[in-house]
Amino acid sequence: MTAPTGVPDLLAPEFTDDPYAGYARLREQAPAATVSLMGGPPMMLVTRYDEVRTVLTDPRFVTDPEFAGAGSNLRDTLLRQAGVPDDLAVYLLRTILTVDGDDHTRLRKLVSRAFTVRRVQALRPRVEQITAGLLDDIAAAGARGAPVDLVEAFGYPLPITVICELVGVPEPDRAQWHDWGRVLTSMDPGRTPEVLRAAVGHVHELIAARRAEPADDLVSALIAAQEDDGDRLSDQEMVTMIFALVMAGHETTAHLLSNGALALLTRPDQLAVLRAEPDRWPAAVNELMRARGPVQFTQFRYPVEDVELGGVLIPAGTPVTAGLLSANHDPRAYDRPDEIDVRRGAGRGDGHVGFGQGAHYCLGAALARQEGDVGLRMLFDRFPDLRLAVPAREIVWQPQPGTSRVAQLPVLIS
């Protein structure tokens, strides 16, 4: 089944060339709009802040279509379009992000201790050490006036190193995850199956290695929990969990760093505020996540009954995605929503929905905020003359499904 003629596709140029304007048009038309993704079947995109919060927090919306009596699983349909075979789809269809109720609680409890605020704060010295090493490399690469790509030299290496150390991925294998992530987020049917098979196989090997020789990492902790109570985590669930954590733990943070750096390089007034008032960096990262967060919309939700959102009736079982980017720029919720203001107050919770809300709130939010704080603060402290090597209008944004990310971010350091 494909979307009817005239239904906007979220990968059309009107959304990839300028997503802020594209989503604004939909948001002002209705609180929920019928859209498609990659030419697939129709779904509902919720566009306004209050309605997005409802989708994320109301128990009538679930992530497992079977709970909602949905006739088909749109997630499964899109995976088939990306060429993912059934034996690999199982690692993407039932993850901590896509299950509900007791299953979700059980899976989240097993890993949540690795991402508590206290545990994340204990990691800060190591995050600072990793950042300092990357900045040394950038200084060496840019010493003769050559441009440096911050995406490749900074945005990706920092979160990949942090999450891989936390999970237990050996150092020689970490660069491979960057390459795999690039392909898997593109959903390219020509490469996705082989890359997904390689990544899943790698995780199986990692688990086998930690069973033979445990270490002080999350993989070993999950194995120990499984051996204490075999019903807690199946082998498939363990592979799925580790795969999801490594992918989610570096892809979004990489582009929070890159998008945030670009935003501040093009807004010297806001950077000046942070130089004068460095205590504002944590709030600034929160504002950058709101205004330039990399995730445009969520995993699919399905209402278990007919639900009315802002006067729009969404029938039970309809695939729904919450427009995080659209909600974070909703003028009903924010004054001057398209402007970056590092002095902006947080408001409710984070003050935005960039990390989600409710039961599926981002498990690694505290870690991502810390990496943003440490990384961007140290970057701009180390290189006070940091500037774009090309005009901002020449920065190319990648048309990836559901994300806002720059392809390259060339800068000069002096």
> Can you give the CATH number for the domain in which 120 is found?
1.10.630.10
The residue type found at 32 is A
Are the C-beta atoms of residues 348 and 340 closer than 8 Å to each other? no
Q: Is residue 3 part of a domain?
A: no
pTM summary value: 0.92
DSSP, collapsed to helix, strand or coil, labels residue 393 as helix
Give CA separation, 246 vs 216, 255, 260, 299, 324, in Å: 17, 15, 21, 17, 22
Q: Is residue 142 part of a domain?
A: yes
Taking every pair of Cα atoms in the chain, the longest distance, rounded to a whole number of angstroms, is 63
Task: Using alpha carbons, select from 369, 111, 89 the residue that is nearest to residue 217.
Answer: 111
Say how many CA atoms lie within 13 Å of 223 toward its Cβ.
Answer: 19
**Contacts of 68-72 spanning 24+ positions with Cβ under 8 A:** 68/302, 68/303, 68/304, 68/316, 68/317, 69/304, 69/316, 69/317, 70/302, 70/317, 70/318, 70/319, 71/317, 72/1, 72/41
Per-residue model confidence (pLDDT) at position 346:
61
Per-residue model confidence (pLDDT) at position 131:
98
Per-residue model confidence (pLDDT) at position 349:
60
Per-residue model confidence (pLDDT) at position 326:
97
Q: Give the position of tokens 């995109």.
A: 45
DSSP, collapsed to helix, strand or coil, labels residue 408 as coil
The domain tally of the chain equals 1
Task: Using alpha carbons, select from 379, 406, 384 the residue that is nearest to residue 158.
Answer: 379
Are the C-beta atoms of residues 366 and 112 closer than 8 Å to each other? no
Q: Give the position of tokens 């690039």.
A: 182
Range of the domain at 182: 13-412
Question: Which regions of the chain are under pLDDT 50?
Answer: none
Phi and psi for 335 in degrees, rounded to 5?
-80, 130
Per-residue model confidence (pLDDT) at position 399:
79
Per-residue model confidence (pLDDT) at position 333:
94
Q: Is residue 2 part of a domain?
A: no
Q: Is residue 4 part of a domain?
A: no
Per-residue model confidence (pLDDT) at position 182:
85
pLDDT per position as a tens digit, 220-270: 988 887 766 555 778 888 899 999 999 888 889 999 999 999 999 999 999
Phi and psi for 294 in degrees, rounded to 5?
-80, -20
Whole-number Å distance between alpha carbons of 310 and 321: 15
Question: How many other C-beta atoms lie within 10 A of the C-beta of residue 282?
Answer: 14
Q: Is residue 256 part of a domain?
A: yes
Per-residue model confidence (pLDDT) at position 49:
97
Strand partners, 224: none
Q: Is residue 6 part of a domain?
A: no
Per-residue model confidence (pLDDT) at position 338:
95
Given the DSSP bridges, would you call strands 320-322 and 43-46 parallel, antiparallel or unpaired? parallel
Q: Is residue 402 part of a domain?
A: yes
Per-residue model confidence (pLDDT) at position 230:
53
Q: Is residue 1 part of a domain?
A: no
Per-residue model confidence (pLDDT) at position 224:
85
